[in-house]
């Protein structure tokens, strides 16, 4: 009973820890390898890093092909089979030098999925061309010899630096010139030096910052006009009352209250003003057209000339009266 309970518990723990695939249907596939290379029974099978199955059996194939010495049988979870292309290949791999080995399926390019019972071909080993490798090594050695020869002969920048005093002296002059410019810039009579050593320039630069800090402090403490406004409830209430009065006046205008509001909202007042303007326009038109007494006076040239003549006669008579008043006196003796 105890053994049975432990078995059941083991199965439950396996399922809870991710062994749900144990219940999934599996299909067999196989491959041939030159040797097992450390691959053992129950070793995992991976596809694109995902555990898709396990090695179920390994044995000698008894085939004459040296590339097919060992047969490896595997079982793959069925629903993964449709994602593995038919031309995929398999190889023995390990996570690191000391890690356990596993069968790694490298994805192919075919659009046809792998079929149950299919044979996966072995991944071709990396081919190394020894001739190309030796040629590359000889090229590297030759380039290194040429570089060392140039240095030994004083050719090139590195060779001149090692062998030539001129290159060293030129570099030293550039360093000395750079140091001289630094000393000139930081001298007391230079602009940068004045700023560094002269407290007046420093104070001039510091003054605006100090004033800004003081103004902010005044605002926070209630000093100055802005600070007093922030801290004085009477000024705040007065401003708030003025804003409230303005809002009420605008509301009265919008509601048609008061003379201005009635003018905005009352159609009768608007029509009366339009009639007054229309009458004024008519009177001006009458003057321009010569209607009425004033219009006749403005338009009729005869009436204007008659009035002008009479005015001139009156002016002459007043002049003669001023010069000779006796002319207009008539004495009668009774």
pLDDT digits (tens, 9 = 90+) for 52-81: 999 999 999 999 999 999 999 999 999 999
| Cα dihedral sign, 59-63-66-71 | negative
Task: Tell me what pLDDT residue 230 has.
Answer: 59
Q: Is 103 exposed, middle or buried (0-12, 13-18, 19+ CB in 10 A)?
A: buried
Taking the mean position of all CA atoms in its chain, how far away is CA 103?
A: 48
CB atoms within 10 A of CB 147: 14
> Going by DSSP bridges, is the β-strand pair 89-94/70-77 parallel, antiparallel, or unpaired?
unpaired
Q: What is the mean pLDDT of residues 34-50?
A: 92
How far apart CA 283 and CA 289 sit, in angstroms, is 10
Question: What string of DSSP letters covers 268-290?
Answer: HHHHHHHHHHHHHHHHHHHHHHT
pTM score: 0.37
Least confident of 27-31, 109-113, 169-173, 251-255: 251-255
Pairing of strands 101-106, 50-60: unpaired
- CA–CA gap between residue 224 and residue 207 (Å, rounded): 19
- For the residues 276-297, what does the mean pLDDT come to? 69
- Residue 91 has phi, psi (to 5 degrees) of -150, 165
Which one of 41-45, 129-133, 230-234, 318-322 scores highest in mean pLDDT? Answer: 41-45
Res 107 pLDDT > 90: yes
Identify which of 100, 89, 105 has the alpha carbon closest to the alpha carbon of residue 48: 105
State both tokens at 227: 């600070």
User: What is the average pLDDT value for the chain, to the nearest integer?
Assistant: 76
* Whether the Cβ atoms of residue 63 and residue 126 lie closer than 8 Å to each other: no
Q: Which range, of 41-50, 100-109, 145-154, averages the lowest pLDDT?
A: 145-154
What confidence category does residue 85 fall into, taking pLDDT thresholds of 50, 70 and 90?
very high
Report the 10 Å Cβ neighbour count for 58: 16
| Least confident segment among 11-20, 100-109, 167-176 | 11-20
123 in helix, strand or coil? coil
Q: Is the pLDDT of residue 334 over 50?
A: no
pLDDT per position as a tens digit, 133-186: 788 888 888 888 887 777 777 776 666 666 666 767 777 788 888 888 777 766
The pLDDT of residue 285 is: 73
Report the C-alpha dihedral over residues 20, 21, 22, 25, rounded to 10 degrees: 130
pLDDT at position 17, please? 45
Rounded to 5 degrees, φ, ψ at 33 are -130, 155
Cα 238 from Cα 242, distance rounded (Å): 6
Q: What is the pLDDT of residue 317?
A: 74
Q: Which of 230, 199, 202 is nearest to 215 (CA)?
A: 230
Tell me the three state secondary structure of residue 48. Answer: coil
In the structure, what pLDDT confidence band is assigned to residue 2 with cuts at 50, 70 and 90? Answer: low
Mean pLDDT of 260-279: 69
Instruction: Quote the CA–CA distance of 115 and 82 in Å, as a whole number.
Output: 8
Residue pLDDT, tens place only, 206-216: 777 778 777 77
End-to-end CA gap in the chain: 181
Q: Where are the beta strands (DSSP E) in the chain?
A: 26-33, 44-47, 50-60, 70-77, 89-94, 101-106, 119-122
Nearest residue to 33 (alpha-carbon basis) of 10, 51, 59, 4:
59
> How far apart, in whole angstroms, are the C-alpha atoms of residue 246 and residue 242?
6
Per-residue confidence (pLDDT) for residue 293, from 0 to 100 = 62
Tell me the CA distances in angstroms from 215 to 91, 206, 222, 236, one per residue in order: 78, 14, 10, 20
Q: What is the pLDDT of residue 6?
A: 57
């Amino acid at each position: 009973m105890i053994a049975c309970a432990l078995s059941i518990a083991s199965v439950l723990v396996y399922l809870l820890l991710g062994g749900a695939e144990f219940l999934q249907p599996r299909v067999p596939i196989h491959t041939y390898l030159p040797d097992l290379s450390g691959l053992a029974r129950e070793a995992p099978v991976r596809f694109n890093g995902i555990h898709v199955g396990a090695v179920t059996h390994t044995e000698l194939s008894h085939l004459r092909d040296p590339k097919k010495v060992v047969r490896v049988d595997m079982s793959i979870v069925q629903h993964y089979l449709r994602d593995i292309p038919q031309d995929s290949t398999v190889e023995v791999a390990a996570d690191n030098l000391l890690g356990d080995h596993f069968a790694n399926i490298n994805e192919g390019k075919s659009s046809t999925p792998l079929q149950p019972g299919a044979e996966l071909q072995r991944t071709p080993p990396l081919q190394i061309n020894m001739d190309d490798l030796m040629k590359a090594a000889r090229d590297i050695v030759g380039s290194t010899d040429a570089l060392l020869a140039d240095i030994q002969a004083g050719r090139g920048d590195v060779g001149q630096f090692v062998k030539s005093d001129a290159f060293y002296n030129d570099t030293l002059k550039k360093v000395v010139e750079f140091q001289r410019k630094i000393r000139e810039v930081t001298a007391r009579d230079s602009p940068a030096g004045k700023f560094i050593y002269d407290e007046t320039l420093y104070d001039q630069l510091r003054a605006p910052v100090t004033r800004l800090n003081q103004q902010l402090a005044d605002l926070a403490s209630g000093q100055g006009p802005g600070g007093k406004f922030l801290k004085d409830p009477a000024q705040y209430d007065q401003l708030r009352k003025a804003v409230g009065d303005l809002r009420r006046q605008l509301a009265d205008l919008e509601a048609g209250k008061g003379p201005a509001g009635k003018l905005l909202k009352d159609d009768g007042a608007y029509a009366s003003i339009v009639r007054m303007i229309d009458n004024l326009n008519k009177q001006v038109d009458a003057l321009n057209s010569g209607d009425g007494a004033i219009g006749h006076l403005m338009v009729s040239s005869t009436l204007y000339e008659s009035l002008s003549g009479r005015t001139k006669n009156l002016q002459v008579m007043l002049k003669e009266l001023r010069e000779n008043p006796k002319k207009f006196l008539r004495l009668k003796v009774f």
